[in-house]
Amino acid sequence: MCIFCDIIAGKIPSTKVNENDDFLAFEDINKIAPIHVLIIPKEHIPSFNEMPAQKMAQMSEFIKETAQKLGVFEDGYRLITNINDNGGQEVKHLHFHLVGGAKLKWPKLV
């Protein structure tokens, strides 16, 4: 089982920000911005490449709802997902980082 599946199962504690039957948003323990949450499907989906389009449409609505709850929907935020090894994916469970709460800069990637 992966770490995100353990969080979903309640085996690892998390600070939940938003949740429904299909998705979970919780605070990242290694924040890179004043607001930094991880948004995951409750179903184990390894990466964006395996995400069914219909489920992604539902997740998009959940992400927007989460941004509204966090108060960054209007001012702006960044969504980041890493895909596979060269994309920097460390946990093989689809997840989006939603970061905001400040004017974000764009770092060099390599």
**How many C-beta atoms lie closer than 10 Å to residue 109's C-beta?**
5
* Assigned token pair, 48: 């964006």
Q: Which residues contact 79 (CB under 8 A, 6 or more apart)?
A: 63, 96, 97, 98
Given 36, 93, 95, 97, the catalytic residue: 95
Which of 48, 54, 39 is closest to 92 using CA atoms?
Answer: 48
Which contacts qualify for 11-19: CB closer than 8 Å, 24 or more apart?
17/66, 17/69, 17/70, 18/62, 18/65, 18/66, 18/69
Is 36 annotated as catalytic?
Answer: no
Instruction: State the catalytic residues.
Output: 95
